[in-house]
């Protein structure tokens, strides 16, 4: 029997606690960036284990600002994996730099030190490390593989709560590490992002750039009525990329609920793995998807397309016809006309032909996962 309602691939889980937090902030009369945002940043810093966290309006902005404060500009090259969302590469384009795409490991779907090294040139100034699906990349090995002057920025949009093999959280490497709080992420505020870092001076620059490069933000002016800086002199070009207290109050509740969400995602992933393991058809899962350190933002599988009578896309549409929000993460960027001619990347190209993302998230239940697998197996058969 088919579902009556559509099952999105990832939807947020909001409770009465988030609703009460919104009402509390609305009643204060201050909904822009202010004390709630500052509290959220401090709580994030404690949770992640980084001394500084700067919130912004999206992970895309976080990636852009991270490259900006790293000195990236026209003529520079920025290496990033091709199997990622376009924001990873576009952050370089916004600054006039060139994204140079590297291949990914066929099991982890993440870049390796060797693959990054293969793309180094005299113009390389940064490497974007993507923790694909929530699997933490060994950034220390990539750091050792590139020259000291090359900056590393971590795209951890999928990896809030993920841990390295050492047990340390993603965000504690010392690199500028960018998180996403978009609607379907492990911690959701609807929109938003953050940068975790260790350098206080860089943190101050990021806070300045996120709000027009003003020396005093609106909350500081409001909370200090004796301030005369009503029209401050601007010294740098800034941007409108700030977070808000309405988002922050949701984030503070979501942060407290992370153990609950982690357990939900793990249970769904375990059920998928159990049902897939019982199939005769060899369906591949991302490496270490059930490991403790994986954030499980995505549950990606790879179909043996050479053994199927229909294409991956036909199967995807059939799943959606049965009200299952399966999707694809992602079409390789190196094949897209926006980025110009790039060298072939065989792993990315092969993976893309069979990759499929099944629904997982804080609102997906084991019963939902069982329905997904029943329909998946029927369609495969």
Q: Regarding the domain delimited by 16-256, which CATH topology (the fold level of the hierarchy) does it fall under? A: 3.40.640
d(CA 58, CA 283): 34
Q: How many percent of the chain have pLDDT more than 90?
A: 92
Q: Which residue has the tokens 């993460």?
A: 329
Q: What is the mean pLDDT of residues 318-322?
A: 98
- What does the pLDDT average to over 42-67? 98
Domain boundaries, the chain: 16-256, 258-380
Residue 297 — pLDDT band, cuts 50, 70, 90? Answer: very high
CB 168 within 8 A of CB 136: no
| Mean pLDDT along residues 310-326 | 97
Task: Give catalytic residue positions.
Answer: 185
So what's the pLDDT on residue 1? 79
Mean pLDDT of 353-380: 97
- Chain segment 218-234, per-residue pLDDT in tens: 555 555 666 555 566 78
Summarised one tens digit per residue, pLDDT across range 19-28 is 999 999 999 9
- Domain 258-380, what fold? 3.90.1150
- DSSP-based three-state secondary structure for 293: coil
**What pLDDT is recorded for position 214?**
87
User: Mean pLDDT across the stretch 35-52?
Assistant: 98
- The DSSP output letter for 163 is B
Whole-number Å distance between alpha carbons of 88 and 58: 12
Q: How far apart are CA 310 and CA 299, in angstroms?
A: 22
* pTM as predicted: 0.96
pLDDT (average), residues 33-59: 98
Tens of pLDDT, residues 102-157 = 999 999 999 999 999 999 999 999 999 999 999 999 999 999 999 999 999 999 99
What pLDDT, on the 0 to 100 scale, is given for residue 227?
57
């Amino acid at each position: 029997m088919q579902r009556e309602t559509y099952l999105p691939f990832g939807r947020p889980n909001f409770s009465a606690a988030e609703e009460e937090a919104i009402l509390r902030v609305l009643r204060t009369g201050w909904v822009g960036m202010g004390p709630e945002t500052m509290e959220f940043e401090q709580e994030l810093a404690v949770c992640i284990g980084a001394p500084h966290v700067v919130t912004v309006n999206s992970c895309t902005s976080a990636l852009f600002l991270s490259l900006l404060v790293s000195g990236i500009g026209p003529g520079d090259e920025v290496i990033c994996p091709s199997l990622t969302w376009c924001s990873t590469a576009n952050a370089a384009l916004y600054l006039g730099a060139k994204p140079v795409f590297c291949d990914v490991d066929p099991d982890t779907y993440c870049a390796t030190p060797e693959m990054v090294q293969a793309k180094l040139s005299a113009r390389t100034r940064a490497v974007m490390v993507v923790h694909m699906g929530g699997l933490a990349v060994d950034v220390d090995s990539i750091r050792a593989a590139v020259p000291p002057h090359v900056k590393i920025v971590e795209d951890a949009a999928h990896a809030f709560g993920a841990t390295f093999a050492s047990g340390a959280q993603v965000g504690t490497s010392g690199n500028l590490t960018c998180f996403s709080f978009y609607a379907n992420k492990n911690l959701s505020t609807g929109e938003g992002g953050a940068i975790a870092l260790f350098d206080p001076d860089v943190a101050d620059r990021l806070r300045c750039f996120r709000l027009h490069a003003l020396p005093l933000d609106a909350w500081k002016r409001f909370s200090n009525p004796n301030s005369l800086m009503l029209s401050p002199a601007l010294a740098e070009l800034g941007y409108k990329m700030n977070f808000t207290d309405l988002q922050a109050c949701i984030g503070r509740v979501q942060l407290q609920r992370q153990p609950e969400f982690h357990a939900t995602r793990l249970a769904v992933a375990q059920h998928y793995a159990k049902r897939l393991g019982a199939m005769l058809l060899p369906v591949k899962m991302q490496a270490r998807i059930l490991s403790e350190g994986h954030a499980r933002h995505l549950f990606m599988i790879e179909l043996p397309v050479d053994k199927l009578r229909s294409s991956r896309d036909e199967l995807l549409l059939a799943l959606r016809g049965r009200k299952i929000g399966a999707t694809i993460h992602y079409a390789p960027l190196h094949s897209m006309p926006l980025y110009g001619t790039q060298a072939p990347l065989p792993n990315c190209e092969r993976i893309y032909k069979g990759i499929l993302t099944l629904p997982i998230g804080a609102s997906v239940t084991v019963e939902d996962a069982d329905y997904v697998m029943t329909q998946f197996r029927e369609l495969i058969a």
